Structure 1
């Protein structure tokens, strides 16, 4: 099957115009039309229909599109693996202040020669990240699918690292003077984690954490951003939240917030990396080696039941 025809089909489907797709691909509109006509003959199916609003995918075209995307992405990854000056290694993180971004920044500081592009897909549903990796829009994503059996067969998920949790409180909170805290000491205290999104990995994490240690996890209200959360903590005598030990938070000096480690057991948030099973970006090798070198929480750390026991390097490129 002609990969140029597949690439043309995908771009026309995404852009909705033959001419715009032709301009982007650097060919004539006639060439794009001929490629798609040849593809339709080979498939013995119509992929597009013309309407008063322009062109639309037929039902066959809709069914064929995700497979065509996957083939085009696989070809592009294969070319990227051997082409000098290929595009930057593109990795999705949850946010630029989160532990994943901090870890990637530490790696980049030690390897400034790597061409690294850190992006945020801004999607709570991990299936969006899975689709982006499968389509080749990103090379890897720091997301977790809590049921790995639902991953597409051409993708794999490896354990990246564990992020120990800390309690973040204001100066008037009853636990503010503690040097360390156990999960049992957090019981009956309000732990506010606003904006927990349904279907997200952290929704499952906090559900299981609350059940295991009988904690009062409160997700009430919209999340207006970290600044509002930090302001609330500074002014409150009874509200606390949980943050990752590597997560970056910045607040005014007069907030006097305190980060208190949780121990016996350490509460470890497991972070995973989703990447292609074959022909991954060659730059991922160094990233995975760096993940292997990170310190691990104590053996007694608590992790949710769905957390994989595999370590970086298991089935990795």
Structure 2
């Protein structure tokens, strides 16, 4: 079949927002119009792309398979248009979740460089980011680098994020101004969002092994708001979070820094070597200037990160 680019754009918008109504608002369409585009696309592909429910629209297995190809198709179409129009499209930046540190970093960059437009795209981390960078669907990804990368992908350290804990007021450590890592050994870290094999789950597995912590990844994962309800009611559990996470306020939960040592989550910036977007050099300079190198006296990183040597560089590195 010949794909309708309008329908493919609608599919991507719904995948990003998980709601037909929000995707319709983004594209300036009615909900009926966007529903017709998806119905036409699903009919042409001979499959169902979304599983609808009261809480939103989730990708089916076929929808998840189609998504990176759809992004690549639209990226190529946009590049073709830009080549003759001479316009500069927004810089497409992939982040794991909009509450996390990478979004705050890009937000501060945008405030300092208002002349460049930015599109934030959420994904499943490095697993989708690798292919999206190679095929041009995104310009930049922020993720922890684990495993081999395509030779066309460049990367550098972006931010070592100190970990905090979100802990209920009933917990015996809730009154502390700081919590030492060893003090958490008698509690359980509730982290149902740690997908097996993901770069963030591997980070917490290394942390747990080094400091004899217990991490419970059992689900289902109903999201951070519901998890905080559970944490607020418990006296023996907590959840790790990044220093810059925009956690929703909860009356029974407090946020406390972790120290001795300070565990740090390593965010890297990745991009395609051949990418010529005019905002990319400005962003790399911005990230490099703000980067603070690893301090072995006070901070902890997994052994795999230390062996790579990349995190000790004062201004970032792309060594592999």
The alignment's TM-score, normalised by the length of structure 2, stands at 0.70
| Structure 1 position 182, deviation (Å) | 1.5
Of residues 248, 251, 256, the one that matches 1:250 is 248
Structure 2: gaps spanning 5 or more residues: 9-42, 46-68
Contact 2:139-2:272 within 8 A present in 1 as well: yes
SS class of match (2:143): coil
Structure having the higher strand fraction is 2
Distance 1:270 1:280, change over 3 A: farther
Matches within 5 A, 1:170-249: 170-249=168-247
Contact 1:288-1:313 within 8 A present in 2 as well: no
Matches within 5 A, 1:1-317: 16-17=1-2, 20=4, 76=79, 84-121=86-123, 123=124, 126-147=126-147, 150-252=148-250, 254-255=251-252, 257-294=253-290, 296=292, 298-300=295-297, 301-307=299-305, 308-310=308-310, 311=313, 313-315=316-318
Contact 2:185-2:213 within 8 A present in 1 as well: yes
Contact 2:288-2:316 within 8 A present in 1 as well: yes
Q: Which protein has the larger Cα radius of gyration, Structure 1 or Structure 2?
A: 1
| Structure 1 position 137, deviation (Å) | 0.5
Contact 1:230-1:251 within 8 A present in 2 as well: no
1:59-103 C-alpha deviation (Å, 9 max, x unpaired) = xxxxxxx9xx79x96x949x77x9852211000001111111011
CA distance in 2 between counterparts of 1:306 and 1:299 reads 14
**Which 4+ stretches in 1 moved above 4 angstroms?**
none
Distance 1:220 1:134, change over 3 A: same
Q: What does residue 50 of structure 2 align with?
A: none
Contact 2:158-2:291 within 8 A present in 1 as well: no
Distance 1:144 1:177, change over 3 A: same
CA distance in 2 between counterparts of 1:315 and 1:306 reads 16
| Structure 1 position 244, deviation (Å) | 0.1
Contact 2:144-2:200 within 8 A present in 1 as well: no
Contact 2:291-2:316 within 8 A present in 1 as well: no
1:142-181 C-alpha deviation (Å, 9 max, x unpaired) = 123312xx21111122211111000110111111011112
Contact 1:161-1:270 within 8 A present in 2 as well: yes
CA distance in 1 between counterparts of 2:44 and 2:96 reads 37
SS class of match (1:187): helix
Structure 1: gaps spanning 5 or more residues: 1-15, 25-52, 56-65
SS class of match (1:109): helix
CA distance in 2 between counterparts of 1:295 and 1:159 reads 7
Contact 1:194-1:218 within 8 A present in 2 as well: yes
CA distance in 2 between counterparts of 1:280 and 1:209 reads 38
1:93-114 C-alpha deviation (Å, 9 max, x unpaired) = 0111111101111121222221
Count of residues in correspondence between the two structures = 251
CA distance in 2 between counterparts of 1:145 and 1:303 reads 13
The alignment's TM-score, normalised by the length of structure 1, stands at 0.70
Contact 1:266-1:298 within 8 A present in 2 as well: no
